[in-house]
């Protein structure tokens, strides 16, 4: 097209004007993957609860019972709506 046109490479990386995080689809797929892995570990704990002898059976059963709660908390830990550097102001200002 343009034989004589030459573009200089930028020396510094371009800066973003916003602090937008990753896209919603990437975030959802990552959370689904974490939840799936947690449920696979839970299934493995149930299988171990059937196979293992008595003292270890209770450890595996405890993992199988508590893991759904942990998996839901981990899966929902994403896309926070309030930034960590948010400033909270009083609703009503005081008169001096």
Q: Check whether 59 has a pLDDT greater than 80.
A: yes
pTM: 0.57
* Predicted pLDDT of residue 76: 76
More confident site: 43 or 15: 43
Paired tokens of 19:
């602090």
Report pLDDT digits (tens) over 8-40.
Answer: 665 676 666 666 666 778 888 888 888 899 889
DSSP 3-state assignment of 77? coil
* Better pLDDT: 39 or 95: 39
b vs e for 44-81, b when ≥16 Cβ sit within 10 Å of the residue's Cβ? ebeebbeeeeeeeeeebbebbeebeeebeeebeeeeee
Residue ranges per domain, the chain?
24-76
Q: So what's the pLDDT on residue 95?
A: 64
């Amino acid at each position: 097209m343009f034989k004589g046109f030459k573009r200089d490479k930028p020396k510094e990386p371009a800066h973003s004007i916003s602090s937008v995080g990753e896209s919603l689809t990437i975030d959802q797929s990552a959370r689904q993957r974490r939840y799936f892995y947690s449920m696979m570990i839970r299934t493995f704990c149930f299988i171990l609860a059937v196979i293992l002898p008595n003292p270890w059976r209770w450890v595996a059963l405890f993992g199988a019972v508590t893991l759904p709660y942990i998996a839901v908390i981990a899966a929902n830990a994403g896309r926070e709506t309030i930034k960590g550097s948010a400033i909270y102001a009083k609703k009503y200002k005081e008169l001096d």
